[in-house]
Amino acid sequence: MMPQNHPIHCVFYSHVWVVHMLKQFNLENLDKQVIIELAEHSNLAPVFAEQAKPRYGLAGLLHLSGRLEQLGKPFKYVPAPLILAPRPEMSATTMNCATALLPTTQTQYEGMILLVHIEDAPLFVSSYAYVDRFSLAWDLADVPSNTLVELADLLVKEQLITEDNWGKIHLYTHPNRKLEDLETRQSEFEAILQEYPLLSGTQ
């Protein structure tokens, strides 16, 4: 789709600690964006001991007076305001309806980053029509699994990605998840994506 005044970047991720690592990915104007967790129930909340606290999440935008600036809050080690997924949880349909409002919502943010866990990716296919850019953040401590293959199949099958809107694959290691076989793990990851040249950047 055509870029919006506040472009939407969807980052699929393998582990919740990715929220601590976003600065490493060189995302543009990160300090002027808002980070939004797109999920039925929050995967990220336990990282901040927020799992028991009620919140509107992105679904708060469905209220006629809802504004993004009211829904997020700062967290330690997170480089921009973060909107956690709602509690009580909301259906994927509700969250997709809220995402559909993002391109036209009035906001001071210059951009939006959607964080979607790869296991949740199929739930939000209808939301991806509003996304301007996609990328993948993979913690190499996470063993490459069939979930990675399913995500790649989804992106290709639904014709969601092109050379223009595919960002890149961010392979990283969290300082609290040390690996002794880093090179082996990276080779396993790259071997899986050989069948998806557009994602791997080999096309």
CA distance 128 to 7: 12
Phi and psi angles of residue 125, each rounded to the nearest 5 degrees, phi first: -55, -40
Mean pLDDT of all residues in 82-98: 98
**Higher pLDDT residue, 170 or 194?**
170
Average pLDDT, the chain: 90
CA distance 63 to 65: 5
Among the residue ranges 57-66, 125-134, 138-147, the one predicted with the least confidence is 138-147
- β 133-139/166-172 pair status: parallel
* pLDDT of res. 200: 64
CA distance 199 to 123: 20
Identify the CATH number of the domain defined by range 8-200: 3.40.50.300
* pLDDT of res. 83: 98
Q: In sequence order, what are the beta bridge partners of 87?
A: 55
CA distance 117 to 53: 21
* pLDDT of res. 111: 95
* Packed helices 182-192 and 146-157: angle between N→C axes, nearest 10 degrees: 40
Per DSSP, which regions of 118-165 are E strands?
A: 133-139
Among the residue ranges 26-30, 76-80, 120-124, 134-138, the one predicted with the least confidence is 26-30
